[in-house]
Amino acid sequence: MSDMEIIFLGTSAGTPTKKRNVSSILIRRKSDYLLFDVGEATQRQLIKTGIGLRRKIKIFISHMHGDHVVGLLSLLQSYSLLKREDPLEIYGPNGISEFIMRNISMLKFTPTYPILIQVLKEGVIMEAKEYIIRATKADHSVETYAFSIEEKMRPGKFDPIKARKLGIPVAYWKDLQMGRKVVINNIEIDPSLVVSPPRRGRKVVISSDTRPSDRIIEFARNADILIHDSTYGEEHADKAIKNYHSTAKQAAEVAKKAGVRLLILTHFSARYEDTKKLVEEAREIFPFVMAAEDFLRIDVPYPES
């Protein structure tokens, strides 16, 4: 199992179906859990995956439509019932703070933990030691954001054969691999002698409800995985325009122009019990396509370069 995994908790648009819950995607990166959108019953989906409700999850809300945010309320209350004490970070669009605080008051419960709310803006919204999360505006009927998880550059590959030939003791290898010069017998050893150039990390982009747009294309440029709104097939392209969504084929056009490695379709209208047709339409444009299903888990490998 990779140290970066995408878990689809809900893949239906608007309303749940027998097979699909409404929108929610979890990304696990090492010990970090990042939850994107919290449609109703997301907490049950978390329990069914075995992840449960005791992880230190950060929450990101793309927009204030019910199928993306209503499940947040029951999740917040469950955290209090479980006596959570760790602060909970929530990132969302304008209105997120009022939505949370007003409903907590109406539901008559007092959180046992601090809730730290950050209103979204374009650009870097969170920075960790090894990765950043960016947001950009999508093209939907209300203020909506897409997100990218981008790892920082990784150290190059260490060459133990070269190190041995140069007589570098093993005790110095880790420093060199981390890009630090070392001094041995008054001789300075540069890491470039035994370490290849730094390597790029992984990039995953989640584009929630949106029309296809140049902004999303640039945002998803060279992503390893693009997860994109694919609410309709081509026979309902007019509905996609009217409701500010994308067809599967339009999502594929975005993926092709952005140069991504893999496109994952999601946010399907309840009319599509079988998504095979949507995948086929997308593959007419871009070959590397798959459809999300609830509880689908995708390992994200490191790029070869």
Buried b (16+ CB within 10 A) or exposed e, 237-256: eeebeebbbbbbbbbbbbbb
Going across the sheet that includes 88-92, the strands are: 115-119, 88-92, 57-60, 32-36, 24-29, 4-10, 297-299
CB-based contacts of 259, cutoff 8 Å, min separation 6? 221, 222
Instruction: Assign 89 to helix, strand or coil.
Output: strand
Cβ–Cβ under 8 Å, residues 280 and 247: no
Instruction: Assign 157 to helix, strand or coil.
Output: coil
Q: Which of 229, 270, 271 is nearest to 249 (CA)?
A: 229
What's phi and psi for 103, nearest 5 deg? Answer: -75, -30
Catalytic, out of 3, 37, 67, 229: 67
175 is catalytic: no
Give whole-number Cα distances, 235 to 246, 248, 249, 273, 281, in Å. 12, 11, 11, 15, 11
276-284: long-range contacts (C-beta < 8 A, 24 or more apart)? Answer: 277/233, 278/230, 278/233, 278/248, 279/248, 281/233, 281/234, 281/247, 281/248, 281/249, 281/252, 282/230, 282/248, 282/249, 282/251, 282/252, 283/252, 284/249, 284/252
Cβ–Cβ under 8 Å, residues 233 and 272: yes
Cβ–Cβ under 8 Å, residues 106 and 98: no
Residues belonging to the active site: 67
